[in-house]
Structure 1
Amino acid sequence: MHDAGRQRCFPSMMRGLRTACAVAAALVLSGCASYAPLPLGRGEGAADVAQLAAPTSAMSLPSLATHRFDPADGLDVTETAMLAVANSPALKLKRDELGIARAQAFAAGLLPDPQLSLGADFPQHSGGGLNVAYNLGISEDVSALLTRSSRKAAARNQAQQVNLDLLWAEWQTVAQARLLFDQVLNLRAQQARLASEQAALAQVTPYVQAALRSGNLTYDSASAGLNAAADVRKQQADNALALHQADSDLHVLLGLAPDAPLELTGGPYQVTPTTTQLQQALADLPRRRPDLLALQAGYQSQQEKLRAAVLAQFPALNIGFNTARDTSAIYTHGFSVGITLPLFDRNRGNIAIERATRQQLKDDYESRVLTTRSDMQRLAADLAALAPRERSLAAHALQLAEARRVAEQSWRQGLLDWPTWLALRSQSLAADLELLAVQQQQATQSIALEALLGNTDFVDSAHPVSTRAVSTQASMP
């Protein structure tokens, strides 16, 4: 082609190239996402419970969704659990994980973008009727269509697993809130009982010191009186540390600032399943427990991943169409097919990995069911054993409280020596603290059993059980 011919063809080709690029750019930009910065927060909790909300519509458990939330008169155990579900920082992270899983499920259904290719060849010398040659083609990876349904199913099941894991995490958060609620109340009761004992023992200290100064008492004989107050002070200090830890954990769980006031009312959470109800819950366990349902969804997701890996062993196929013009101005239209020869890899490694992973998930599920059934039976037996012990301790603590009251009067009237009075007080204090410990153990086992059962149909409403007797004793001198 003469130079004039080349000059005429070149602008025409450039116009076509610009048009193709403009169309491609418009298609790309029309589906582009925009970016917006997201600044980090300061990590400050709410300064007051009144600043927090616990909408019943966000509650997954019926016992929470039907409970009236009113923190004005203090938080009962159910209101505490509602606040934990709505505001727990750990649950917020779980909900973020669900958002990621849903995004991954969306991405799994997307097909790979087609590839557009454009090229041009420019003759290096004039004459001979040569033209500027070009080629234009578009191709698509067809093999992605073969595994698309399996990838989508796997991602859907994965998102369902994360959703069920979130529900199970909410159940665990409810159990943790109930447990911390009981621990704080129980430790506060112990602290009040120890403070009452410390105030009472302060009355005998002047008698002991006066007797020592007058020589009527040796230090060896006075050790019981001096050590009694010291022992109670040590118990107070140890209990205060445990109370600070439980109170701090509860503040974090509820999303409260460390110094936010927290008033708790009511008694611990209790469940009393009958043998029939327990057996029914055990039978329905795999169809109701969110963690077991999540494992089932994860297993189904792995089934689809294995299926996709098996399909991926077939040759990868890439199909394209193109149009071209050579330097002699001859136009051609054709197609291209690219295929991977399955000689060495054949995706055997990935198939083996996915098959082994499926076996691991199967064994994990069966182990979890077996462990859960065993734990439920053990917790039910523990509660049955703790009930008579708690009743016996409550009666014993009341008897010692009465003996302590009588000894107090006798000591003040000079009818009883102070070592005997101290011994009675020590026995009464030990009985009261043991009763509180057993009651906390009962509440802990009850909460754990209810969390494992995942059934609130037979759950009693919160009630103080035998804490009424302990509260009365704590008010005595």
Structure 2
Amino acid sequence: MCVPMSESRNLEETMCMKPTTLGIVACLLVSFFPLAALAAPTGDTLTLSRLVTDALRSNGELLALRDELGIAEAEAVRAGLHPDPVLELGLDTGDLTGSSGEDRYSVGLSREFLTFGKRRLRGAVADKGFAAVREQVRNAERLLVLDVKARFHGLILARERLALARKAMALDHELVSIAEERFQAGDIAEIEVSMARVEENRAQERVIAAETEVASLRAGLAQTVGLPAEALLEITDGMPGGGSAIDTAALEEQALRLRPDLKALMLAKEGSSAAVELARAERWPNVIAGIVYSHERSTEGEGAQEERTTDELLGLRLSVSLPAPSRREALLREAMARQSAGERRVTSLRAAVVREVETATSRLAAAENALRLYRADILPRLEENLATVREAYRLGETGILNVIEEQHRHYQVNSDYLAALHGRNLAVAQLEAAAGIELAHKEGDNR
């Protein structure tokens, strides 16, 4: 039931005036619940580290890749097993050929024995394959973390540009008020008021565009993380400020040692080497050995001299397959080609890893230099110039075009500064992904 505000206030005053226990309790409840409603949290604030954790736990593509890891593990287990034994049953009878007294049945058990270490080599190939797939999963995690960081910093940039657009709209609204006051005082023509209103409308369009961009980037980040878009309404830029000194040579060494994609290729190359040894061993045949028990019944003589005899035999069976040389040589050539290709891929990726670290380091250094220039000189002068021009217009010492031009410059330079800040944060994320580690940062203001 809805209670009007005036009736609710009267009810509170009436109940608080009665010195009864029920009245005191009711008074406390009525007084507390409005405060509790105001103090209720709107939702958890999500940090970058929290989003990365959620993505590693909930991203659909990564979960599917982890499931596929079980396939490689099963193949590694199967490669290390001995061949299954073969049970053979035999029955021979003479009933269909006119020899009703003749029959034989047998039971045999045989198994293939792998020669020249083939089982060990097959297990080595499968184990290297499983380890390579595991490193591929870790590399997918590395790329997912980079994707989340890039999307997160993109959303932060869009959100900061939205705040900048709203600030610019507030400045344009103030300019309209100043122009209207001066027009009413007869200091300026009406055209200047119209020009100020046009700038205010353009600022409103920028705000709408910025809000649309924020919503789009929030949806993309939510899909990557595996959370609903509503959960990302409150996020905070948890990136620290200045970073510690970058040792490019040390980062290159760590990248060559820790990058999971490079580890995966190196494991695949080792698996190819084992496959070459296996292909050489496959040129030699395997041995199939078994044991057979047979029971035979036969009839000897005719008429009164007919005698039935029974024999039980136990025998050994041994067979050897004769592999075709051309087929085995083709398998060997294929394995050697894979080995050579694997070595070339490792060499190429090692060079690419070094280039990635060098490029990311250079990009980060350039971004840091740009930010220092913005913070030390450009932004303070920009704020000072804008305040001076706006005050001069209010006093009638300059025209409105100068104010509009300075406000445009203020918006554009601040937007460029936000882009430089985004570039710096993205460069950190790219350097961390290239090196395969998390960089140590100094605590500080990220703005």
TM-score by length of 2: 0.77
Q: 1:238 to 1:462 in 2, by over 3 A?
A: farther
How many angstroms apart in 2 are the aligned matches of 1:414 and 1:109? 90
Q: 1:422 aligns with which of 392, 404, 407?
A: 404
Please give the per-residue CA displacement for 1:61-114, whole angstroms capped at 9, x wherever unaligned.
xxxxxxxxxx97622322332232233323212321222221221121122211
After superposition, residues 103-114 of structure 1 pair within 5 angstroms as 103-114=74-85
Match among 305, 309, 325 for residue 295 of structure 2 = 325
Corresponding residue number in structure 2 for 1:315: 285
- Tell me, in whole angstroms, the C-alpha distance in 2 between the residues paired with 1:180 and 1:270: 19
- Aligned residue for 1:88? 59
Bigger shift: residues 377-386 or 427-436? 377-386
1:396/1:127 Cα in 2 relative to 1: closer, same or farther (>3 Å)? closer
Among 144, 153, 156, the residue aligned to 1:182: 153
State how far apart, in whole Å, the 2-side matches of 1:454 and 1:126 are.
Answer: 78
**Superposition pairs for residues 137-152 of structure 1, below 5 Å?**
137-143=108-114, 146-152=117-123
Cα contact 1:270–1:447 (8 A) shared by 2: no
Shift of 1:193: 0.7
Q: Is structure 2 residue 214 aligned with structure 1 residue 243?
A: yes
- Aligned: 1:438 with 2:408: no
What does 1:366-377 correspond to in 2, within 5 Å? 366-377=347-358
Alignment of 1:205-220 (within 5 A): none
Q: Say if 1:461 and 1:108 are closer, same or farther in 2 by CA, change over 3 A.
A: farther
Cα 1:248–1:92 change in 2 (3 A) is same
Alpha-carbon distance change, 256 to 264 in structure 1, aligned in 2, over 3 angstroms: same
Secondary structure of the 2:326 match is: coil
| Structure 2 match to 1:281 | 251
CA contact (8 A) 1:313 1:346 kept: no
Partner Cα distance (2:241, 2:126) in 1: 39
Deviation at 1:257, TM superposition (A): 1.7
Describe the SS at the equivalent of 2:64: helix
Shift of 1:153: 1.4
Distance 2:101 2:349 in 1: 76
Match of 1:291 among 258, 261, 275: 261
Equivalence for 2:139 = 168
Residue number in structure 2 paired with 1:259: 230
Residue identity in the other structure for 1:409: E
Q: In the TM superposition, what are the counterparts of 1:430-469 in structure 2 within 5 Å?
A: 430-456=412-438, 459-460=440-441, 463-465=444-446, 467=447
How far off is 1:241 after superposition?
4.1
Residue 147 of structure 1 contacts residue 311 of structure 1 at CA under 8 Å; is this kept in 2?
A: yes
Superposition deviation, residue 229 in structure 1:
4.5
The alpha-carbon distance between structure 1 residues 231 and 319, as it changes in their structure 2 partners (threshold 3 A), is farther
**Does 1:335 pair with 2:316?**
yes
Structure showing greater radius of gyration is 2
Give the 3 Å change call, closer, same or farther, for CA 195–295 of structure 1 in structure 2.
Answer: same
Q: Distance in 2 between matches of 1:83 and 1:430?
A: 35
Q: What amino acid is the match of 1:393?
A: Y
CA shift in 2, pair 1:309/1:75, >3 Å: same
Match of 1:402 among 384, 387, 407: 384
**Gaps spanning 5+ residues in structure 2: where?**
1-41, 299-309
Q: Work out whether residues 83 and 254 of structure 1, in 8 Å CA contact, stay in contact via their aligned partners in 2.
A: yes
Q: Per-residue displacement from partner, 1:174-218 (whole Å, max 9, x unpaired)?
A: 33333322221221010111122123324556869x99xx99567
Computed over aligned residues only, the root mean square deviation of the Cα atoms, in angstroms, reads 3.2
Q: Which runs of 5+ in 1 are unaligned?
A: 1-70, 468-477
Question: In structure 2, what is the equivalent of residue 470 of structure 1?
Answer: none
Question: C-alpha separation between the residues in 2 aligned to 1:439 and 1:185?
Answer: 10
Instruction: Tell me if the contact between 2:269 and 2:343 (Cα under 8 Å) persists in the aligned partners.
Output: yes
C-alpha distance in structure 2 between counterparts of 1:317 and 1:126, whole Å: 36
- Report the Cα offset of residue 427 of structure 1: 0.5
- For residues 223 and 362 of structure 1, the distance between their equivalents in structure 2, rounded to whole angstroms, comes to 71
SS at match of 2:231: coil
Paired residue type of 1:340 = S
Distance 1:125 1:109, change over 3 A: closer
Distance in 2, Cα, partners of 1:159 & 1:270: 41
Amino acid at match of 2:326: D
Instruction: Give the C-alpha shift of residue 295 in structure 1.
Output: 1.8
Counterparts of 1:188-227 in structure 2, within 5 Å, are 188-203=159-174, 225=196
1:436 CA drift (Å):
0.2
Partners of 2:48 and 2:232 in 1: CA distance: 16
Distance in 1, matches of 2:81 and 2:235, equals: 51
Q: Which amino acid aligns with 2:261?
A: D
Q: 1:114 to 1:269 in 2, by over 3 A?
A: farther
Q: Secondary structure at the match of 1:111?
A: coil
Offset at 1:448?
Answer: 0.6
